[in-house]
Amino acid sequence: MMLGSAWAFAAAVLAILVWILTGPTFHFSDTWQLIINTTTTIITFLMVFLIQNTQNRDAKAVHLKLDEMIRALKGARNQLVDLEDLSDEELKKLEEQFQRLRKKAEHNGTRSRNAGSAKSR
């Protein structure tokens, strides 16, 4: 995207330099200051929406890629596809399931490592 490029940054710096250099010409008047304040406020306001749109598109692409991976893997739970559509309560329950699985795996891993080190003695 052009707005996130080095050229866009350079153009913004150039615009500010032009504004600063015109200060003495306009005797650093209130109107001169109002021009930069209004311009930057408008640009900031519009950029918020542009950034949000870009993040939404990026998140959607990541979700679709993850959904494809879930569908492609044998043994993966297809119920995990489209998790972003679940309610907060449903997500909390799923998070608790994963925490239990992680604790179980840690417990089994600890036991396996202890058993392995005992066997090697």
- What confidence tens digit (pLDDT) does each residue in 78-108 have? 777 888 888 899 889 988 988 998 898 888 8
Angle of helix 30-72 relative to helix 6-22, nearest 10 degrees?
A: 170
Residues 117/109, Cβ–Cβ less than 8 Å? no
Residues 40, 91, single domain; the answer is no
Which pair of tokens denotes residue 30?
């209130």
Same structural domain for residues 22 and 42?
Answer: yes
Q: Would the pTM count as exceeding 0.75?
A: no
What's the angle, vertex CA 17, arms to CA 16 and CA 19, rounded to 5? 65
Instruction: Tell me: do 65 and 90 sit in the same domain.
Output: no
| Domain of residue 46, residue span | 2-80
Q: Looking at the structure, do residues 90 and 116 belong to the same domain, yes or no?
A: yes
- When divided into structural domains, the chain yields a total of 2
Q: Are residues 76 and 91 in the same domain?
A: no
Task: Round to whole Å and give the CA distance between 36 and 14.
Answer: 13
Residues 55 and 102 in one domain: no
